Chains A and B, each alone.
Chain A
């Protein structure tokens, strides 16, 4: 009887708090959240955050509680010694202990966060407003070129070499690690070590002009074997079938190859993203649209409507059917 009564009294607050906690936990989730980490560095940084948050809440309550106490609860004079002690203890003692340990903790995890990678090397270049991505597996003499999507093997530390083509960008994949800027004239490095396979979203974090808000990417973390298979396929040019298709003819006719490369064809443009396996990516136009034939058709006709200031001209002179054929063909380039 007693025990049962005990459980109900305990359960009531738990029942009330549990949904709240669930909501809060759910609020921390998301493909671009630093609080649902899938990488070794992000996990370490998550811990750092939760520890600091707990400390901050305690200190906030302490300082404001003290202020409330001396102004509202106990407005009468207290001893001068106590007041003086408060300055010394609160102003020097307390911060000395808290800050010194925090600083030592923070500094000591920095070298690990910036450890060099031990296998795959990526070279990512920020452009207005998309990402040029090159994979350099160990021993490679030339890269596998892709764009607007980053794939990383799980359980290995990959090294990302960061460049900028025009203005400063910042490469940020919150689920996996912290961010590092991409600065014209400089080469920066970041390394990443995913711990589970999944899909994450990243975004440019440094203001880079008109459509800064529209410069995202998808990241896919894969088991090493899957990754190797994918990379091998990615290294191939487009298939013979695709080359013979009507879509390819339209592609050539419209002069798309002046800006875009299609490996295995004459299209070698380097102004825009490499499109050899464009259909295999999760998103279109650097995370702005879904990878569907309809979205591709819309984008080709009116890129400015989706990304103000974009360099790609609109192809709205093409007729509807032609546009859809081209889009469907592109979407099929996996």
Chain B
């Protein structure tokens, strides 16, 4: 570091209404960083921060939104759901221990296996990534909280209610029983509420997952500490970015599938019914476009945990950082070209299968690179072993076996042998235990001191490891053979004498050994530890930021440090001492508001001090109303569901409006180290704008999946569109498009006019906009009025597009009215224009959606 004057930030804002630019010295010099804080001031700062970040007490803790509290709830809930799904597995193993067993009836067994898969995937594996990330990501980045704490809390409550609902159905014997993949027609034919519970409950949880993904992506992009350029991010942050992106592109196709599925179940629109032009394979495509990336959505975060643990035990920075980044990004992409390998036996053309076989092999390369980068790091390091490393060694042994059988099943002809047999059951459990469960447990043992300040037991940890490792292999290794000698999956019983008896008995015994291992782990987690000594601050001597914070304080980072290394605790002088002495950014909370630092995307230059949310009940209320909207239709209480949905929307509008009009008391504030940062920014500099952008990417993917449906039917069915079919009314459709286009232009115009200091013109635009939007929506519906969606898949899919677009137009109207209200009350204006930016962004996507819908509904069928 030079001792010369540091460069200074700051220039006059381009126009009157723009946020003031940051001003002051940046980057800080060594002298500035070394400048001590006076003890008295330090004490006062700590008192203020403590008071500001203190969570609510007693039962009011339920209103908490802070990432540390919500993260712990989230992880504990996932763990509990996992234990529940594990118990189902044990009961299934008892049933399969001997041939012709009648411990469970066929119906019960089918419910159990369906719920075991659904719960492990939707209630454990995917949310566990979100839970761990909400809990730890801010610590990895020395951020005080994530940018949208209320969204995390909303996501958590949605997950909890949805999860209890879905898993609870099993206790009443009404659970879904058509498998976690819900293939129609068998699931369509299923009576009772089982499939509805699955569809609506899990759609609800998928929405919560997407919300978490938005939160985490923005967290990584905008909440890093100053100086942490993209090449210095902890690898976990890279993985969060990749996995968050994958969730945005993988979950929406399933939501689109659920949408079609529920339309068929509730209204008889024949999307999957071949007698009326539908095709059950469309569901399989949509399900697996979600389902295969999902495997990597589960696997990558665990690799990310490993990437945090390995350098610590190698006592050496990771070797091949950019190689690991490459493999994360590469895997993220390639994993979208694998989905048909779940459909190798569906009779698709050989050449089509070949493409997916090829991509399934190609994805092995980035996966292998990650593993070899870990080995390389351990090579150059001075390795010490510890309990987390034991779990990681176990995970490697299991995962490589699962990966190698994965290479085998990716060869399509071999898959024709083992598809839907116990070989695949063994394969997937090897990948999930090795690639997810074991690394997560390694992470639990490793990160426990960060979260609770206490170490977990070494002795119990070893017992848990050896029991679950041995039990796992006793259970699943024989299953490879069970499958090869002919036992199919998803069978509630089997006859004796086919050579399967002893293999199944062995697997059942092993399952109970795994259960014993998990019981030891669970005990280690919940046993009282109040008498145990506090763990040292950095017990493993790690080099990354999460070890710099004091777990007893709820403020997260005492002050936000300036980072110049991937392992600042190893490389930067007196790093922990300085950060904890308040010698970093935002060391104080003079206005008694919760704050975190927002930085730029690539180079993490400080750009804003963001006020983050404090405890509130509104998220809880919103989540329960949303739950009502999703859950009540299962019981055919459509009116109540509608009311609940309307209340959910109203609650969310109130929530958003209250924060939209909460303007900071000053333009800028002292962010520490001589830097003054703005408090209010809008447009692409604001986190809200990024949140909208990312959400709409996901939303557009769902829409694209519906459009894919149109093309799919066209290639798969000779009668699409059927001879002499009634087409949509072309003039009306075009009129609708024109109206929506004008509304779009008005929304954009409103934002631009407002920014130029003409809020009254913007008000006018937003007054006319909703009328045009509603007229456009009405015209669109009228354009398809003569198409009967129950007769054939062609009118049905056209209607589905129209319903989708109309629903979005409804949201668009709400947003226009939201802006209109804010402009009329002068809560929004030229300076405070963030909502106008975000709404205009939404409308860009909405405009494109309407354009594509009109093209598909009114133009395309006339060309086919």
Contact = CB atoms under 8 A, between A and B. Distances in A.
Indicate yes or no for A touching B, C-beta below 8 A. yes
B111 to A, nearest CB: 11
A30 B486 contact: yes
A183 B499 CA distance: 30
Contact of A78 (B189, B350, B361, B379): B379
A174 B407 contact: no
B120 interface: no
A20 interface: no
Contacts of A78: 379-380
Contacts of A30: 485-486, 498-500
A91 B411 CA distance: 20
Interface string B474-508: 00000001001111111111110011100100000
Interface stretch (B395-403, B461-469, B602-610): B395-403
A288 B279 CA distance: 31
A79 B274 CA distance: 63
A288 B106 CA distance: 14
B37 interface: no
Given A56-B404, A63-B400, A80-B380, A210 B106 contact: yes
Interface in A164-195: 166-168, 170, 172, 174, 177-181, 183-186, 188-189
A170 B487 CA distance: 13
Determine the interface band of chain B, counting residues with CB < 8 A from chain A: 35 or more
A103 B357 contact: yes
Query: Interface residues of B: mostly helix, strand, loop or mixed?
Result: helix
A249 interface: no
B379 A167 contact: no
Contact of A203 (B281, B376, B413, B486): B486
Given A33-B484, A33-B485, A70-B375, A179 B416 contact: yes
Contacts of B369: 87, 91-92
B457 to A, nearest CB: 22
B375 A90 contact: yes
Contact of B396 (A63, A76, A94): A63
Interface string A54-71: 001001100110111011
Contact of B484 (A35, A71, A103): A35
Contacts of B749: none
A205 B421 contact: yes
A82 B375 CA distance: 11
Interface string B443-463: 000000000000000000000
A213 interface: yes
Interface stretch (B178-186, B510-518, B558-566): B178-186
Interface stretch (A11-19, A44-52, A251-259, A273-281): A44-52
A250 interface: no
A30 B496 CA distance: 11
B411 A48 contact: yes
Contacts of A243: none
B498 A91 contact: no
Could you say which of A35, A77, A109, A185 has the most chain B C-beta atoms within 10 Å of its C-beta? A185
Nearest to B483: A34
A83 interface: yes
A174 B484 CA distance: 9
A113 interface: yes
B106 A83 contact: no
B525 interface: no
B117 to A, nearest CB: 11
B375 A179 contact: no
Interface stretch (B142-150, B254-262, B382-390, B644-652): B382-390
Contact of A185 (B274, B353, B489): B274
B412 interface: yes
A214 B495 CA distance: 9
Given A103-B411, A106-B357, A45 B486 contact: no
Nearest to B383: A75
A111 B365 contact: no
Contacts of A68: 393
Interface in B343-372: 345-347, 350, 353-354, 357-358, 361-362, 364-365, 368-369, 371-372
Interface residues of A, number: 90
Contact of A205 (B350, B361, B419): B419
B323 interface: yes
A99 B407 contact: yes
A271 interface: no
Contacts of A203: 486, 488
A186 B347 contact: yes
A170 B420 contact: yes
Contacts of B358: 103, 107
A87 B323 CA distance: 8
A166 B185 CA distance: 7
A270 to B, nearest CB: 18
B261 to A, nearest CB: 15
A178 B275 CA distance: 29
Contacts of B106: 210-211, 213, 308-309
A102 interface: yes
Contact of A52 (B275, B279, B400, B411): B411
Contacts of A181: 345-347
Interface in B285-311: none
A72 B415 CA distance: 37
A201 interface: yes
Contacts of B493: 213-214
A96 B400 contact: no
B404 A60 contact: yes
A156 B283 CA distance: 37
Nearest to B181: A207
Contacts of A86: 372, 375-376, 379
Contacts of A29: 485, 499
B380 to A, nearest CB: 5
Interface of B: 105-107, 110, 177-179, 183, 185-186, 189-190, 274-275, 278-281, 316, 319-320, 323, 327, 345-347, 350, 353-354, 357-358, 361-362, 364-365, 368-369, 371-373, 375-385, 389, 393, 396-397, 400-401, 404-405, 407-408, 411-421, 481, 484-495, 498-500, 503
26 contacts: A29-B499, A30-B500, A34-B417, A34-B418, A34-B485, A45-B417, A52-B414, A56-B401, A56-B404, A60-B404, A63-B371, A63-B375, A67-B396, A71-B389, A83-B379, A87-B372, A90-B375, A92-B369, A94-B368, A99-B407, A103-B361, A185-B274, A188-B346, A207-B186, A211-B106, A308-B107
Given A90-B375, A185-B274, A205-B421, 15 more contacts: A33-B486, A34-B484, A45-B416, A63-B400, A71-B385, A83-B375, A87-B323, A87-B369, A95-B368, A96-B365, A174-B417, A183-B281, A205-B345, A207-B179, A207-B489
